[in-house]
Amino acid sequence: MNMANITKKVSWSSRGDDSARGEATPLLNGTEEVRYTRQPSGGLFHISRLSTVDLEEEITSEEQDSVRTRPNMIPHNEKLLSLKYESLDYDNIENQLFLEEERRMSHMGFRCLEISRWVICGLIGFLTGLIACFIDIVVEKLAGIKYIVVKQNIEKFTEVGGLSISLILWAVLNSSLVMVGAIIVAFFEPIAAGSGIPQIKCYLNGVKIPRVVRLKTLMVKVFGVICSVAGGLAVGKEGPMIHSGAVVAAGVSQGRSTSLKKDFKIFEYFRRDTEKRDFVSAGAAAGVSAAFGAPVGGVLFSLEEGASFWNQMLTWRIFFASMISTFTLNFFLSIYNNKTGDLSNPGLINFGRFDSDSVAYNLYEIPLFIIMGAIGGLLGALFNFLNYWLTIFRIRYVHRPCLQVIEAMLVAAVTATVSFTMIYFSNDCQPLGQDQTKDDYPLQLFCADGEYNSMATAFFNTPERSVRSLFHNPPGSYNPLTLGLFTLTYFFLACWTYGLTVSAGVFIPSLLIGAAWGRLFGILLSYFTSGSSIWADPGKYALIGAAAQLGGIVRMTLSLTVIMVEATGNVTFGLPIMLVLMTAKIVGDYFAEGLYDIHIKLQSVPFLHYEAPATSHWLTAREVMSSPVTCFNKVEKVGTIVNTLSNTSTNHNGFPVVIQIPDSDEPGMVCGLILRSQLIVLLKHKVFVERARTRLSQRKLQLKDFRDAYPRFPPIQSIHVSQDERECMMDLSEFMNPTPYTVPQETSLPRVFKLFRALGLRHLLVVDSENRVVGLVTRKDLARYHMGKHGLEELQLAQT
């Protein structure tokens, strides 16, 4: 028996527990979720500004000095868990109103609802495809104009000398485009920065990220990504597509726009978190589908990244949205390309088809692929690690919008300069093929007539095209030095770029880095094997390298495999891609987390993983719950309710409704659960018992009233309750959820976790053996525990 061990572990941890809670307890006792008070200037996910302010507020001057003198102790908040994020309620509130409505609905009614769900999903797919198409065409046009102008300029100055003017032209063009993109993001909607994938992950997980699915975010995102891609940054437009799809879904499914103050009076049934989440996952899938031409990959992405739910009908709807999205995109692009109706080339990024006959692989290549996977994992971990430090640096020093814009412009200028220098000093000349003249922008520079600069195909091009060239250009198109230098510079450029205040994704840069070193790997192989025919094609190694690098950075496996397979249009490489992605993940996870997870952690988001930490069985609900809990009676005095809601120190969002035993101090028996948002609607409509008695004509409050207020419930301060009214009573029984889920105090953390996660709960009541409330478990109580290097660790809760 190693009982002693257990005791030691427990006691160690309970000390950890105490110390962790020590700071927060005075404020947090019983707090479940602090209502988010909107800060005027910044986004929540936008790392740079807000968090730093908050952090600096926390650090007293003395502490700050000590931090400054010890640069190793850069304050970052990955060990904190923010209390500013509300949760979403992915469990239906089955109160009396809801049940009445459901019971009133006929079989036909449910069928109509089901049909409208399909219609909405179709619309989501259509609009997402349309937006993707718009972004693609505008980016192509803008970038095309830019490259042609610069190319002409370079050609002009190549002979007469003075290429520095071309460089300046290029850098200025890039910077000004990026400036526009950075300004709209930094000043108008900071939440639109980055790829948006971490935010959507959080949303699907059940964390409410403010303003993440608003129309304004969508606009900023779309124009931001156009500017940053056309501005020549090392970014892709695929991540933002996923975010756009999610916003479209959230908008369409609600049948109204709060921003535009337009209510179409349709789809009112879907105005709650559960339904909205389902549509948002469809939107995200549609985004992936449009971006990569990968409808199945989109479905898997939605499920792998976000969902804890798996429902056949829902999955089919998601699939349908994805399908329509690819279809729409293909159709409009086929019109744009004057090949109306030819749908065979799906997706925004088109890796080009790998011909299955010429490109095959053999058993003895598998170990090579695995080695490449490991390299990808290592490089990915390095990328993530560097980006992690960079992000912390940004949190500390680059938090003002204007600084952020300047940084973005600087990166744009540096990117142009580095590219130009690389091209300038490269002497890798290749003969011009027939097929390159139309779409690409081959630079002759100092090469002989009929030749082009090979470095320029990688740098002087949109990243998507560079990837395609690396995959498909015939052997010998690049020399190893070119590829090596390109990999090196692009790696650091991409790493610097991710996290800038621009709307941009990391998929394409990762693929590009990987494709470059993958192709290099292939070329080196054929050197060493003295050009044996099986190694002849470096394109497949470029593909494997791309997969390895992307896998090493984002750490998806299943969905990424399918996305890669769908994007290359060939299943032959399914098996090697899987192997490579798995290896990359295993190797990468050993050193650092995935990029998205790092950014989620740095934001201190209470993210719930699939399972509770393995060694958390010794924790019980009693230890993790918040207590005491503020409860209400079934019929409660309005004054009490208003006071409780107004009390900023106990800013709860859910209140158990109890039956108090008369003349007893013991906690009451659970008979329901009511949310802050519901109470606010009740107060706003003044649903008081006395009024109901005196004025019979008063309209009964309906589910519609709650739906109209969803999701932006007014704060309690905006509701005026007179002194007379404070003496009235409110009957909650009709509005509360009469059957909240409960667990006994002895329930182990993994069991609580499973219940919470599987049902998408927001509040879980902890009761004693006589069904009396003793505590409340919320997302933060569970997200607090995680596996660290030394076993189970507990994050600190912070108001930031």
Instruction: Looking at residues 551 to 590 of the shown chain, list those that interact with a copy of itself (rule: CB under 8 A).
Output: 557-558, 561-562, 565-566, 569-572, 574-575, 578-579, 582
* Backbone φ/ψ region at 408: left (φ over 0), alpha (ψ -120 to 50), beta: alpha
Instruction: Pick the closer one to a copy of itself by CB: 380 or 576.
Output: 576
The Cα–Cα gap between 738 and 132 comes to 45
Torsion sign over Cα 570, 572, 578, 584: negative
Q: How is residue 247 annotated by DSSP?
A: H
**Is residue 527 at the binding interface for a copy of itself, with CB under 8 A as the rule?**
no
**Is residue 660 at the binding interface for a copy of itself, with CB under 8 A as the rule?**
no
Number of residues that bind a copy of itself (CB under 8 A): 94
CB of 324 to a copy of itself, least distance (A): 10
Residue from the set 395, 422, 743, 777 that interacts with a copy of itself by CB under 8 A: 743
**Is residue 659 at the binding interface for a copy of itself, with CB under 8 A as the rule?**
yes
Residue 165 CB partners (closer than 8 Å, separation 6+): 153, 157
Helix (H), strand (E), coil (C) string for 251-312: HHHHCEECCCCEECCCCHHHCCHHHHHHHHHHHHHHHHHHHHCCHHHHHHHHHHHHCCCCCH
With contacts defined by CB under 8 A, name the span among 125-133, 361-369, 370-378, 481-489 that binds a copy of itself: 361-369
Cβ neighbours, 10 Å, residue 235: 32
CB of 3 to a copy of itself, least distance (A): 8
Residue from the set 94, 155, 263, 439 that interacts with a copy of itself by CB under 8 A: 94
The torsion angles phi and psi of 364, rounded to 5 degrees, stand at -75, -5
Site string for a copy of itself, 316-345 (x = CB under 8 A): x--xx--x--xx---x--x-----xxxxx-
CB of 684 to a copy of itself, least distance (A): 25
Site residues (CB under 8 A) for a copy of itself, limited to 432-491: none
The Cα–Cα gap between 124 and 317 comes to 11
CB of 596 to a copy of itself, least distance (A): 13
CB of 775 to a copy of itself, least distance (A): 14
Residue 678, strand partner residues? none
Residue from the set 26, 40, 69, 104 that interacts with a copy of itself by CB under 8 A: 104
**Is residue 60 at the binding interface for a copy of itself, with CB under 8 A as the rule?**
no
DSSP per-residue string spanning 197-240: HHHHHHHHHTEE-TTTT-HHHHHHHHHHHHHHHHTT-S-BSHHH
**Is residue 617 at the binding interface for a copy of itself, with CB under 8 A as the rule?**
yes
Quick check: helix, strand or coil at residue 186? helix
Instruction: Pick the closer one to a copy of itself by CB: 170 or 535.
Output: 535
The count of C-alpha atoms lying within 13 angstroms of the C-alpha of 308, restricted to the half-sphere facing its C-beta, is 22
Instruction: Pick the closer one to a copy of itself by CB: 168 or 759.
Output: 759
With contacts defined by CB under 8 A, name the span among 234-242, 363-371, 457-465, 684-692 that binds a copy of itself: 363-371
Site string for a copy of itself, 665-704 (x = CB under 8 A): ----xxx---------------------------------
CB of 166 to a copy of itself, least distance (A): 40
Site residues (CB under 8 A) for a copy of itself, limited to 187-226: none
Instruction: Pick the closer one to a copy of itself by CB: 458 or 550.
Output: 550
DSSP per-residue string spanning 42-62: --SS-HHHHHHHHHHHHS-HH
Instruction: Pick the closer one to a copy of itself by CB: 570 or 640.
Output: 570
With contacts defined by CB under 8 A, name the span among 193-201, 446-454, 637-645, 754-762 that binds a copy of itself: 754-762
Residue 633, strand partner residues? 658
Instruction: Pick the closer one to a copy of itself by CB: 408 or 605.
Output: 605
* Closest-CA residue to 292 (of 221, 300, 185): 300
The Cα–Cα gap between 429 and 435 comes to 17
Instruction: Pick the closer one to a copy of itself by CB: 110 or 264.
Output: 110
Helix (H), strand (E), coil (C) string for 447-514: CCCCEEEHHHHHHCCCHHHHHHHHHHCCCCCCCHHHHHHHHHHHHHHHHHHCCCCCECECHHHHHHHH
Site residues (CB under 8 A) for a copy of itself, limited to 772-791: 787, 791
Residue count (the chain)? 800
Instruction: Pick the closer one to a copy of itself by CB: 427 or 570.
Output: 570
* Closest-CA residue to 49 (of 403, 398, 399, 405): 399
**Is residue 759 at the binding interface for a copy of itself, with CB under 8 A as the rule?**
yes
CB of 586 to a copy of itself, least distance (A): 10
The Cα–Cα gap between 324 and 778 comes to 38
Instruction: Pick the closer one to a copy of itself by CB: 246 or 307.
Output: 307
**Is residue 107 at the binding interface for a copy of itself, with CB under 8 A as the rule?**
yes
Asked if 660 contacts 727 with a C-beta cutoff of 8 angstroms, the reply is no
Site residues (CB under 8 A) for a copy of itself, limited to 227-286: none
Instruction: Pick the closer one to a copy of itself by CB: 299 or 483.
Output: 299
CB of 594 to a copy of itself, least distance (A): 12
CB of 36 to a copy of itself, least distance (A): 28
Residue from the set 361, 393, 446, 591 that interacts with a copy of itself by CB under 8 A: 361
**Amino acid code (one letter) for 486:** F
Torsion sign over Cα 745, 749, 751, 755: positive
Task: Give how far the C-alpha of residue 738 lies from the chain's centroid of Cα atoms, to the nearest Å.
Answer: 34
